[in-house]
Amino acid sequence: MDASAQTPYLPLAGRRILLGVCGGIAAYKSVMLLRLLTQAGAQVQVLMTEAAHAFVGPATFAALSGRPVLTDFTQGRTGQWNNHVELGLWANALVIAPATAATLAKAATGQSDSLLLATYLSARCPVLWCPAMDLDMYAHPAVQANLNTLAGFGNLVLAAADGPLASGLTGQGRLPEPEEIFEAIRGLVCTKPAWQGKRILLTAGPTREPLDPVRYIGNFSSGKMGYALAHEAAARGAEVTLVSGPTDHTVQSHRITRIDVTSAHQMADACLQAASESQVWIFCAAVADYRPEQVSETKTKKTGNGWNISLVENVDIAATLGKQKQPGQLSIGFALESGLGQAEAAAKLERKNLDLICLNSLDQPGGSPLGADDNQYLLLGKGGKQTPLARNAKAALAAQILDEVEKLF
Ligand code: C5P
């Protein structure tokens, strides 16, 4: 399939988000958040407090959201009323980012002297608070008490991040990065009952098999597909244990617990620990099939005679766990093959006791999928069921694969 024919992946299509922006320096990050939301297909209505206007111009938010920004209860002297009740009912989620100490305090005590606060009191949708302020303000018991009060109302509170602050001080108080807030919003508006509370064990990335203190045998896996699956499962409401080989990716969702490993042996140990409590296992990692038989404790010196390395086979994590799979547990594997590879993938499905295997090829038109942004799959299920997934972004494919997994629940 031609890349231009891909369906754009819009995980927030049809979702309506109210983005409340308060008067703090972190308001500049809300612009990026708005961009992420609209690019993901969400409709966004921005509500700025009066104080926020001192930090970012409303035209920026209006242009990016395609809607006038709302701040006041009425529009000038036109008599037009910005109906906070309608706004509250319209939204699938209300996000306040950044939330200042003043707005938090007012919300915690039910005050409604701004359109944003009145909308908060009227909203029936999930609410996400993203506080941002200087470290001593953030740590103050009064602010923490207000955050606890809001959490007690059933609102989600995203903890402020640690790091350099606009004041020059360093500590907890930063607005989390827009990507993290975006994932938290996805987690509010994309939950699916089938996934809520399910525990997923997911492997991702490459493994490295050491030869000596400075060298290893590895592979070109980037971890992109595994991390896309982890975030998609988390957005649907699952609790994900992500056992990750070395990658450049970061976890953006509070529903993902990442366990960093290096070698296949370490990955196997981490998986064995988490397997019994997980209902779905997804083996997306490119686990090294072999490791050097000898690992030198010192750096191996050049001799001028070449270097013969003897390799021994690593444990097959999917196959090992496949032997202890219980009724109600699902195991999903991947197969990267040269050529078509259907017979090989079908044999792996059987041998590793998988319920679904996602076959992708090194010889597909787009070239090797390792490290690429796009891929295409043929999903093979039990009983010979085949589901082709056309070439698409890995994030889109992650959603399609989880749709197929969901059919197996
Ligand atoms: O046999 P092959 O490596 O092609 O199988 C690929 C599938 O098995 C993937 O799902 C991969 O994550 C998993 N696997 C594993 N442990 C290994 C090798 C592969 O879990 N040692």
So what's the pLDDT on residue 3? 44
Is 55 inside a domain boundary? yes
304: left (phi over 0), alpha (psi -120 to 50) or beta: left
Residue 329 structural domain: 199-290+312-406
Residues 70 and 210 in one domain: no
49: left (phi over 0), alpha (psi -120 to 50) or beta: beta
So what's the pLDDT on residue 75? 81
Residue 352 CB burial class (10 angstroms; 0-12, 13-18, ≥19): buried
Return the H-helix or E-strand segment holding 406. Answer: helix 394-407
Which segments in the chain show pLDDT lower than 50? 1-4
So what's the pLDDT on residue 114? 94
| Closest approach atom of ligand 1 to CA 318 | 20
Of 133, 167, 189, the last residue of a domain is 189
Q: What DSSP letter does each residue of 213-232 carry, written as one string?
A: TTEEE-----SHHHHHHHHH
Q: Which amino acid would we find at residue 263?
A: S
So what's the pLDDT on residue 84? 84
Ligand 1 pocket: which of 229, 287, 314 to mutate (most atoms within 8 A of CB): 287
Residues 215 and 142 in one domain: no
- Which protein residues touch ligand 1 with a CB less than 6 Å away? 203, 264, 283, 285, 287, 289, 314, 316-318, 333-335, 348
Is 297 inside a domain boundary? no
Please tell me whether residue 42 adopts helix, strand or coil conformation. Answer: coil
Q: How many CB atoms neighbour CB 79 within 10 A?
A: 7
Atom 5, ligand 1: residue with shortest CA distance: 335
Tokens of 227: 């991390």
| Closest approach atom of ligand 1 to CA 321 | 20
Active-site residues, by number, are: 219
Ligand 1 pocket: which of 316, 331, 354 to mutate (most atoms within 8 A of CB): 316
Give the total number of structural domains in the chain. Answer: 2
| Closest approach atom of ligand 1 to CA 352 | 8
pTM to 2 decimals? Answer: 0.92
328: left (phi over 0), alpha (psi -120 to 50) or beta: left
